[in-house]
Amino acid sequence: MINVDNNFFKNFINLLYIQSIEIIQQSSEDYDEWIFKNYKIDETLKEFKDYKVKDKIERTLVILNGKITFKRRRYYKINSETGKEEYIFPLDKLLGIEKWQRIDNSVKEKISSFITENKRYKDILDTMEHVKISLMTVSNIMKNAKTDEEYYFNKSNKKIDILECTHFSKY
């Protein structure tokens, strides 16, 4: 008799998440390598032309599939006015993430989309089990989400529409 794993589909889905993270990690590092090889000659990277490579630093970012850790180069140049080194991470700039950012904008947008559904933080975590964040992180993202027209995540053009509740239940 064949022994069938009762968790076959769950294990398979977990494997897919792990593989997707590995693919994203490798793609990020490959893109950083491409930047390194082309930043002096490529016209799209001209803003980095005066910089020199300082070192490689690991970066961890929470994405919808989980936590991803990849290495990317840090570049520097000497500021002519102050004489101090200025640092930049071209990969971060091209990916649209800030140097202090630990959670990707897609995760913030997904969590904020639950505002209109009145979900509990625990319910939100359950629907996003592979993201691996805490209840406090969900709370902070929800608390910091603003509903006015001027609010954008990370100064991107993606606006979060918050629908107002037009009906109330009577007791």
Could you report the per-residue pLDDT of 101-139, keeping only the tens digit for each?
Answer: 899 888 888 888 887 787 888 888 888 887 888 889 888
What's the confidence (pLDDT) of residue 170?
41
Q: Label residue 34 exposed, middle or buried (CB < 10 Å: 0-12, 13-18, 19+).
A: middle
Please write the tens of the pLDDT for every residue from 31-58: 999 999 988 888 888 888 889 999 999 9
Q: What pLDDT score does 58 carry?
A: 93
Q: Which two tokens stand for residue 168?
A: 């109330």
- Please report, for residues 15, 130, 138, 158, the alpha-carbon distance to residue 125 in angstroms, rounded to integers and kept in the order given: 20, 9, 8, 23
Tell me phi and psi for residue 77, to 5 degrees: -150, 160
- Give the tens place of pLDDT for each residue, 61-102: 999 888 999 999 999 998 888 889 899 999 998 888 888 889
* Tens of pLDDT, residues 12-21: 888 888 898 8
Asked whether residue 156 carries a pLDDT value surpassing 80, the answer given is no
For residue 171, name the pLDDT band (cuts at 50, 70, 90).
very low
SS (H, E, C) 32-44: HHHHHHHCCCCHH
Query: Between these two residues, 26 and 168, which has the higher pLDDT value?
Result: 26
> What element of type H or E holds 88?
strand 85-88
> Are 162 and 147 within 8 A, CB to CB?
yes
Give the pLDDT confidence score for residue 168 in this predicted structure: 41
Predicted pLDDT of residue 169: 42
For CA atoms 25, 26, 31, 35, give the dihedral sign: positive
Give 141's pLDDT tier (boundaries 50, 70, 90).
Answer: confident
CB 74 within 8 A of CB 54: yes
pTM of this prediction exceeds 0.75: no
Does residue 153 register a pLDDT over 90?
no
Type of residue at 74: R
